[in-house]
Structure 1
Amino acid sequence: MVARTASGSVVVPAPPSEVFALLVDPRRHAEIDGSGTVQQVVEAPDRLELGSRFSMGMKMGAAYRTANTVVEFEPDRRIAWKHFAPHRWRYELEPVEGGTRVTETWDASRYNTITFLPVRALGFPAKAQQGIDATLRRLRERFS
């Protein structure tokens, strides 16, 4: 069975409310994106919530846009979004001594075997893991 998720965690020296404030502001996503694909916000509300739709200018080889929808939302604890494909980007926050444990997950568990093949051919989930590792480093540095 091929893995359909990539995930990592880091403790940042900030309370969950501060970390969550960054994650719910799509204009700031490019600040922490370690994958190098997130370029800028195209259209978005000031603050994301469950059901919010937002568009991002992206670049992975060629430039493109994504239209995303927030599909999981628990204030100061969890946010996840997806675009047309079934995979999700999720951030989970847990208060711990010294700050907040942030877990980022790329979750492609909703793909069936056939629809996952092209995603796997593009190098995922390994590509997602590299981006997650770099994003979490940037997030820790942002709050240090």
Structure 2
Amino acid sequence: MASKYPIKQVSVSRIIDAEPAAIFDVLADPSKHSIIDGYGSVKQVKGDPGRLALGSTFSMRMKIVFNYSIKNTVVEFEENRRIAWRHFGRHIWRYTLEPVPGGTEVTETFDWAPALSPGMIERQGYPTKHPLAMAKTLERLDTYVTTGEVPPAQP
């Protein structure tokens, strides 16, 4: 059966009234990922991986039904423009930043083309479920970067 997702990516964008560097600093700091997470699944970073760069690894404490930890590797990195990471499943979470009038357009992309099991990702409905949570992530990122306030925790 052919996939109804030939591109195997979904993306959500938002314009944030901030410079790319301010936004990128949050994305490149795993200790801030639980603050901006719109899924409610990222709980905290394990250890202190420092600021991310190409090839950096970092582990996150997660909760989706049960608690677990997952190790990620930064696979794309262009300072103030693009950062992406993946874990053992090989699908990629990517953020791209583009300066625009009024701020920075931030695009979050879930890319399951390189995944070990793209069919499973599609059967689980992630391509249709993730965009709502991705929009919440960008909203939380906007709030944190523009006000310095930590948005209320996700349920």
Contact 2:92 2:110 in 1 (8 A): yes
Residue 150 of structure 2 corresponds to which residue in structure 1? Answer: none
Structure 1 residue 43: Cα displacement: 2.9
Report how many residues are paired.
142
Structure 2: unaligned runs, 5 residues or longer: 148-155
| CA-based RMSD | 1.3
The whole-number CA distance in structure 1 between the counterparts of 2:48 and 2:74 is: 11
Residues 40-61 of structure 1 show CA distances to partners (whole Å, capped at 9, x for unaligned) of 0013421000000000000111
Structure 1 residue 132: Cα displacement: 0.5
Range that drifts further, 27-36 or 131-140:
131-140
Residues 65-111 of structure 1 show CA distances to partners (whole Å, capped at 9, x for unaligned) of 11000000000000000000121000000111111100000000124
The whole-number CA distance in structure 2 between the counterparts of 1:111 and 1:30 is: 24
Contact 2:112 2:121 in 1 (8 A): no
The 3-state SS of whatever aligns with 1:110 is coil
The 3-state SS of whatever aligns with 2:126 is coil
Residue 140 of structure 2 corresponds to which residue in structure 1? Answer: 138
Alignment of 1:65 onto 2:66: no
Residue 123 of structure 2 corresponds to which residue in structure 1? Answer: 121
Q: Structure 2: which amino acid aligns with 1:130?
A: L
Q: 4+ residue stretches of structure 1 with deviation over 3 A?
A: none
The whole-number CA distance in structure 2 between the counterparts of 1:9 and 1:23 is: 15
The whole-number CA distance in structure 2 between the counterparts of 1:92 and 1:71 is: 13
The whole-number CA distance in structure 1 between the counterparts of 2:86 and 2:48 is: 14
Alignment of 1:85 onto 2:89: yes
Instruction: Give the fraction of aligned pairs with identical amino acids, expressed as a percent.
Output: 46
Residue 33 of structure 2 corresponds to which residue in structure 1? Answer: 29
The alignment's TM-score, normalised by the length of structure 1, stands at 0.92
Contact 1:6 1:106 in 2 (8 A): yes
Structure 1: unaligned runs, 5 residues or longer: none
Contact 1:44 1:53 in 2 (8 A): no
Alignment of 1:99 onto 2:133: no
